[in-house]
Structure formats: structure tokens, C-alpha cells
Chain A
Amino acid sequence: MTDTTERRAVTAGTWMLRLAALAYLFLLVVWPTAYLVRNTFADGLVTLAAALTDPDIVHALVLTGQTAALAVTINLVFGLGISLLLVRYDFVGKRLLSWLIDIPLSASPVVVGLALLLVYSPAYGWFGPALRDAGIDVIFALPGIVMATCFVALPLIVREVVPVLTELGDDQEQAARSLGASEWQTFCRITLPGIRWALAYGLVLSLARSLGEFGAVKVVSGHVIGQTATATVAVESAYQNNHTDQASAIAFLLVFAAVLCLVVVALLHRQDAREKG
């Protein structure tokens, strides 16, 4: 008897919790997103088609794609390098470096944008005038946008790869070296396969983050529609100019990309789990 009552009590409690979680998610995520989708497709495909033929919006989407591709590539190289440095080598200031990498996670992206502006602004930046004289535009141009995005997305790869690299240990690398492998062969044949899922996972997360970055990019891009406005910046400006349908269409595309990223992540997880047996 006591057994059943206890179980019933637990079930009721569990149901309450589930209901609360579902209601919370519904109010916060599902309803607004569904509303966005409904808004986009209120007139069938007309809104989306109109948005995709507007040269300014197309430009913003292409710019976002370019920025994300560049930022992800750069972060792949540096994220991997920093991860190896943090796990495989001992040096003075290692903890400081590890701590610095977390700054983008805790600092507001607007702060990042402003900081970049202070250093690279052609008018009053610490480094900007010299760059301008050399004919290199950083602020209000693609380099600045990419830098801001890189900064914001950097920790995502490092934080995925570091624990896996630590767990992997350097036994296998030592074994490979004793079997005649050079450093490069060891990296390609042993280290990289060992961290490939973590790396892929980090890459997808950092791609999602790059596509969605707004604050830092808004500050450094100068948000000139048709020139330096990325998709997120274009959403805001469309909305402010009362083009709600345009804003919904771009926002829908961003959500769509994010969902795609999540699907890829889920598939990667499954693959990873399967290989671990």
C-alpha cells in the first residue's frame, strides 16, 4: 500500500514539474517562434519571396554568410591551437590565458564592439589611423565585423575541445611517436581523430553563434543597409522602419539556420555515442 501511495505522490510531483517546464518553454520559446513563423507565412510565400528579391536583404544575408564562414575558419585554426596549448603544454600565464578565453562568454557583445572601436576606429582609435593610412578599413567594413564575430565565438570551440583533449591524454600521442610518427603525422592520425566530434560540435555551435551575433557587429559595422548590415542588424532596422514582414522573413531564415545547426549537433552526438560503443 505504502509503495503505491509513494509512487503516486512521485508521479503527481513529476507531472507538476513537467507541466511547469512545458508552460515555461511554451511561453518563452515556442509561442513567440511560432508567431514569427505564422507572421512570415501569413500571405503564403509572398513575404519570403519579397524579402529574398530585395537586394539589401540579399546583401545582408550574403554578408552574414561570408562573416560566419570566415569567423568559423579563423576560430577553427586558433581554437584548435589554443586548446592544444592549454592542454599539452605548461607555461607561465596558462591560467590567465584560460581565463581570458572565457571573457567573451561573460562580457556583453556591445562591450566587445566598443573595445574594438576604441582600438581600430579610423578617426580616434589607438591603432586605426595608421591602418587607414595603409589603406586598410577595419571598422565599418568586413574585417571589423569578422573580428567582432571571432571574438564572440572563440570560446565555443576551445571549451568543447579542451575537456576531450584532456580526457584523451597524451599516451596515444607518445605511442605514435615511439612507433615512428612525426609531430604532424601524430596530429593528423591520432590527435585529430580523437577530438573530431568535439571539434565538429564546437564548429557548429560557433557557426550558430556567428550567424546570430548582433551586439558587437552592430557597433563596429556602422550598420549601413546594403553595405555593412548583417542579417541580424537588418532585422532590427527593418523592424524599426515598420517593415515587420521583412523583419519576420529574415528572422525566420535565422531561426531556420539555427535549427539546422541543432539538428547537425544532435546527429554528431549520435555518431559520437555510437563510436564510443
Chain B
Amino acid sequence: MSIEISGVSKRFGDFVALDDVTVSLPTGRLTALLGPSGGGKSTLLRIIAGLESADSGSVHIEGKDATRLPPRRRDVGFVFQHYAVFRHLTVARNIAFGLEIRRRRHLPGSAASRAQKARITARVDELLRLVHLEDFAHRLPGQLSGGQRQRMALARALAVEPSVLLLDEPFGALDAKVRRELRKWLRSLHDEVPVTTVFVTHDQEEALEVADEIVVINQGRIEQIGTPDRLYDDPANDFVMGFLGDVTTLDGAPLRPHDIDVALRPTTAAAVEGTVSRLARLGFHVRATVLTDDGEQVTVEMTRAHADALGLLEGATVFLTAALAVRRPMAQIA
């Protein structure tokens, strides 16, 4: 395990940001800290980076106790939501910053100094290629778009080859289209440079698409840890179920709207009869609101092709059955 957090608590005045959080984040994987705003996920990330200090508990990074270390001794790269670019430095100098800070002192003009300079330049060129900013090396950050700035910030964090890369809502300030592009790009970048990566997001779609593992955090506590599939299909409680996707109820049992079978005739005795009260065509899929005879409002989702095959119309009588064995959250079973 690359990052071990045990018993970490943090308060801001009366507000409890983190309440006795214990979690291990695996080496070489991409982990998402997912949760609503104000849930404590960014605080946890900043505590890992050393930008915030925990009131109690400990943080170990790569087996080393980092609880009291300043950020610069933790060997972590940090990417901020609003990029935190060095505005007065060119893209290349931004990326070189960490390397120049670590530079050994040599006599100016000496062979050792020249060799060092050449090494830094080579490394910066390599990173510029990695984030596709080769043509922008000598621009100032003010001349870049948001997505380009964030890629530059990522290259800057990767330059010093940190053992852990931390990203705080890295795509939160970008528009939806760029965000989707960068998401894909981050995933492929991680496959190329498999450094342990932790990123904070409040967007469940982003977490499901990008992460190997998701840690759901709410109100300063960890709700569940697991792979995207496990969290989606096997949520530990109502909060996780509701946060990771849409939830509806059929016969009082919570389930995903796409896990309901719709038929025009009763298929089993357990089928629930109802009337389609609203039909929304949302591109690839269709969302139907069905009012059952018991007065329950059920949301059902299906592909457009399936809806067309059924000839589904508003006002039609339909029969609903749960497509899979109803998954009650584990907490309710236990």
C-alpha cells in the first residue's frame, strides 16, 4: 500500500471535515475520492500533501511516516483545481520549476553545470511531449486555454517524479466537453506513467470512468471503498447507491431505473401493473415515468430501440418486474 491514512480527524472551528478516517490507497493505481462538496475529500487530499495538517491521526507515504513532514519533503505532486500556474514563467519554466529547485549548485559555466542544464531541458522536452504542449513551450500561461493550463500543471507535478500524484478536482473548472477529453487523456496518461494517483471529484461519472478504485466520502466519513463496478452494483448503503447513479423504487425496494423490465403483458405473477405517465427521449435511451396501481411513481430507463420495439406511448398500460434480484444495500441486509 502506497498511502496509509489512519485515524485522521480534522476540524475547522465547529465544522468536522474529517472524522477518524482510516484508509489505504494502493500503489500504482488511480484512486478517486468521491463525494459531495464539503464532504471532506479535498481536506483528506490536502492532508496527504501536507498542505493541511491533521488534528489527529497519521499519514504514511511509501512506508515513511509523513504526518509531520512539510509538503516539500513528502515527494508528492499536487495539481490544483484552478491550476495554480506560475503566471510570470513560461510553460517550459513552469514545468522545470521543481527540477530547478532541486538543482545542485555547480560553478556557472562549468561542465557539471552545463550537463545539469541539458538534463533539465531534456526532461522538460519529454514532459512537453507527454502533455502535448511542445508548441507552447515559450508561451506564458496567460496565453493558454484552461485545458492546456491544467495539462501544464500536470506535467509540472510529474517533472520531479513524485511517488504519489494528487489531483484536487483537476477538471472542475473546465467546460463539459474539455472535461470529458481530459478525463480520457488522464486515464491513458496513467496507463503510460503508472504513478500512484489520487484524485478528488464530486462527479460520479468521472470517478466511474477513470478510477481503478473509488473511495466514497461523505460528512467526514468513508462510506465505502471498492472498484467502480462493485460500488455501482453493490452499494454499502443508500447514500452510496444514490450518489453513484439514479435510484428509483419498485414495490418499495430501491433499484436502478435500468434494472426494471417493461412488458405490455404480465410475464410473472409478481409483475406490477401501471400506466406510463411521461416518456422522455434522451438520445440513446428513453426514460419513462410509470404510475403503478398502488400509486407508486417508478422511473424506468431502457434503450431507444427497446422502447420502439415495445411501441411504448404515454398512457399505455405496462407491467414492471425487477430485471435482477433486487439489490438491497448491504447495510439493510445486515
Chain A contact residues, CB within 8 Å of chain B = 171-172, 174-182, 185, 189-190, 193-194, 275-277
Contacts and interface: CB of A to CB of B under 8 A. Distances in A.
Given A175-B78, A277-B143, A180 B87 contact: no
A178 B86 contact: no
Given A174-B51, A174-B71, A277-B142, A179 B84 contact: no
A185 to B, nearest CB: 6
Nearest to B88: A193
15 contacts: A171-B80, A175-B86, A177-B71, A178-B49, A178-B50, A178-B74, A178-B77, A178-B157, A179-B77, A179-B156, A180-B72, A181-B97, A190-B86, A194-B87, A194-B88
Contacts of B160: 179-180
Given A175-B84, A180-B102, A193-B88, A277 B140 contact: yes
B242 interface: no
A183 to B, nearest CB: 9
B70 A177 contact: yes
Contacts of B77: 178-179
B78 A178 contact: yes
Interface in B37-85: 49-51, 70-72, 74, 76-78, 80, 82-85
A179 B70 CA distance: 11
Interface of B: 49-51, 70-72, 74, 76-78, 80, 82-88, 97-98, 101-102, 140, 142-143, 153, 156-157, 159-160
A172 B86 CA distance: 6
A171 B71 CA distance: 13
B49 to A, nearest CB: 6
A184 B117 CA distance: 22
A259 B303 CA distance: 76
Contacts of A193: 88
B142 A178 contact: no
Contacts of A181: 72, 97, 101
A271 to B, nearest CB: 12
Given A178-B77, A178-B78, A180-B101, A172 B72 contact: no
Given A174-B71, A180-B160, A185 B101 contact: yes
Given A172-B87, A194-B88, A276-B142, A177 B80 contact: no
Contacts of B157: 178-179
Contacts of A177: 51, 70-72
Contact of B82 (A171, A179, A185, A189): A171
A177 B46 CA distance: 13
Nearest 3 A-B pairs (CB), nearest first? A171-B84, A179-B98, A175-B84
Given A176-B97, A177-B51, 4 more contacts: A178-B74, A178-B77, A179-B77, A179-B156
A176 B101 CA distance: 9
Contacts of B84: 171-172, 174-175
Contacts of B50: 178
Nearest to B79: A175
Q: Which of B82, B86, B160 has the most CB of A within 10 A?
A: B86
Nearest to A185: B101
A277 B77 CA distance: 29
Given A178-B51, A277-B140, A172 B85 contact: yes
Contacts of A194: 87-88
Nearest to B102: A180
B91 to A, nearest CB: 14
B98 A180 contact: yes
A194 B88 CA distance: 7
B53 to A, nearest CB: 13
Contacts of B86: 172, 175-176, 190
B80 A174 contact: yes
A194 B156 CA distance: 19
Contacts of A185: 101
With a 10 A CB-CB cut-off, give which of A177, A179, A185 has the most chain B CB atoms.
Answer: A179
A182 B73 CA distance: 10
A272 to B, nearest CB: 11
A89 to B, nearest CB: 16
A172 B71 CA distance: 14
B104 to A, nearest CB: 13
Contact of A178 (B76, B82, B83, B143): B76
Nearest to B85: A172
Contacts of A189: 97, 101
Nearest to A275: B88
A180 B70 CA distance: 9
Given A172-B84, A174-B51, A194-B88, A179 B142 contact: no
A41 to B, nearest CB: 45
A171 B49 CA distance: 14
B96 to A, nearest CB: 10
Contacts of A179: 72, 77, 97-98, 101, 156-157, 159-160
B216 to A, nearest CB: 26
A17 to B, nearest CB: 36
